[in-house]
Amino acid sequence: MKKEMEKFQEDIQLGKIAYFPGCSLNSTAMDFNVSLKNLLKFLNVEFEEIDDWNCCGTTPAHNVSEELSIILSARNLLLAKKMDYENILCPCVSCYCRLLIASKVINSNIEPENKMQESKRNLVLEELKNMGFDINQKLDFRVYSIVQFLLLIKEKIRNKYIEVKDEINNSREIMLLKSLKPVCYYGCVLLRPGYVTKFDNIENPTSMENVLKEVGIKSLNFSFKTECCGAILSLTNKNIVIELSEKILNAAQDSGANCIIVCCPLCQQNLDLRQSQINKYYKSNYKIPVFYISQILGLALGLSFKNTMIDKLFVKPDIRI
């Protein structure tokens, strides 16, 4: 991990980070995209969106064909390589997992463990070759989730916070943050499978909490931080999503929290958009804003409500302070 961090920091200094938004951040999770890009710019992190990127395939493609999902994601990696990038930031958790797994298949320094994996790798590389990519070049992709990325640049976040905090201490944005009692919710996908992601504890992660500490935000203990919200079942079995999401909201409320901080577009949508449906079904009265971590960090560093798109939330925080 130390060697990886040193390499990461070296590449960041050179401005070598590619940005893969994926489909969600260009549509239903536009607030994640906008708030994160504004945050990165404010932190002077140079990034460039991958040209001509395609959908990673997410769960549907993987369910149809594992090779198809790998090829779709690997194409994005090779497009980044054409732009001279090997570090890839994937804010969407689903995109992160798919591109990370693809990198483990095609990276030159990773040897297949058995004949089946070797056959899979050869099939993927052959398809990439047919697309016109050079598959004989050395490939050494490093794919980062938003949580891991923020953890690796937390010193930069801390220094920027120290620089600006006295100037923004009385702003409406900071007054809102001071009223919040958050819990961090990671969802069930970000850290699984553990043998692939590796950057935090699978059952009791603390990366988000550690990043938020850098801007003076203390998170409450939360027993449901890696439980499933129902994820993509919202398309096929909404009742399961409502049931599972209600358990998360209830656990957050029981912990004393008045808001939830997330890092996954689908988790945010299920907990925020469906909160009114949950209240109707359970005859409850949840009013718990569900923020992206990029929104909270942005506010803490002085970005406005507009630049973090706080107003896009379905369950809106009290910003009349």
Q: Which two tokens stand for residue 43?
A: 């932190």
- Output the pLDDT for position 318: 83
Is-contact 72 99, C-beta < 8 A? Answer: no
E strand map for 110-210? 142-145, 182-185
DSSP state at residue 218: P
Tens of pLDDT, residues 93-132:
999 999 999 999 999 999 888 898 899 999 999 999 999 9
The parts of the chain modelled with pLDDT lower than 50 are: 14
- Output the pLDDT for position 16: 74
Q: Which two tokens stand for residue 179?
A: 């009223």
Is-contact 256 181, C-beta < 8 A? Answer: yes
- Output the pLDDT for position 10: 57
Q: Which two tokens stand for residue 284?
A: 């409850």
Query: Crossing angle, helix 275-282 and helix 238-254, to 10 degrees?
Result: 90
Sheet containing strand 18-19, strands side by side: 48-49, 18-19, 87-90, 142-145
Total-model pTM:
0.92
- Residue 283 backbone phi and psi in degrees, to 5: 55, 40
- Residue-range domains of the chain with CATH: 2-145 (1.20.1050.140), 153-312 (3.40.50.11810)
Map tokens 């949508």 to a residue: 269
Tens of pLDDT, residues 48-77:
999 999 999 887 766 777 889 999 999 999
- Output the pLDDT for position 234: 73
- Output the pLDDT for position 11: 57
User: Residue 65 contacts by C-beta under 8 Å, 6 or more apart in sequence?
Assistant: none
- Output the pLDDT for position 60: 72
- Output the pLDDT for position 294: 98
